[in-house]
Amino acid sequence: MGALFGIPEQSDVSSIAAMVSSRQWPLISNYGASGLSNKVDDGIMKEALLDFYTSSGKRKPDQIIIFRDGVSESQFNQVLIKLLRLASSLTRSGTLKIVESPDNVLHGTVIDNKVCHPKNNDFYLGTHVGMIGITRQTHYHVLLDQVGFLTDDIQDFVHSLSYMCQRSTIAIFVVAPICYTHLAASQLGAIYED
């Protein structure tokens, strides 16, 4: 799942919330999108989970992995608490289970020490080849891992998701769910502008 939400504390600023999710098990590269504007609603996440449940033959997801964009470090705890409350309301148990330029790092390069937080699980990942200019390394923070990923496994998983975007034949600089979420929010924003 990828999610992009506005800032609820700023009521005078219009915000758009968008979420994409894989809805056809086991085809995790097929995504559907939902969006809303100017209101806080956890319903789009519930709707996506119900849609997955019905479209996959009444199968519940074994794990739910959420990529959330647009959250500053000062908002991590606030966002994590809200997501955990939403998740516990949905489950009975209450728990979630070759570079052309010499100036660029190789695609797939992970930086997880020295410049990262010494105690937090965070890492920088350079996923794409910089054909023109400098590559962008994306900073990922793992706020909660109840699946039990090893550090290398979550980094490999995130790197793999950068190849799943249908609009590109090569890796992109973010995971596909976040790319699709930005596209959905952009289209929704264009609709509300008119």
The tokens describing 57, both together, are 């033959």
Query: Average pLDDT, stretch 141-146?
Result: 88
99: pLDDT strictly greater than 50: no
Cis peptide before 26 (omega within 30 of 0): yes
Query: Average pLDDT, stretch 85-98?
Result: 55
- CA 99/CA 102 separation, integer angstroms: 7
Query: Average pLDDT, stretch 55-60?
Result: 79
Mean pLDDT of the chain: 72
pLDDT digits (tens, 9 = 90+) for 160-176: 888 888 888 888 888 88
pLDDT score for 153: 92
Q: pTM for this one?
A: 0.61
Domain 2-193 has CATH 3.40.50.620: no
Residue 171: C-alpha distances to residues 7, 22, 120, 121, 165 (Å): 29, 19, 26, 23, 8
41: pLDDT strictly greater than 50: yes
125: pLDDT strictly greater than 80: yes
Query: Average pLDDT, stretch 50-63?
Result: 78
Query: Average pLDDT, stretch 134-159?
Result: 86
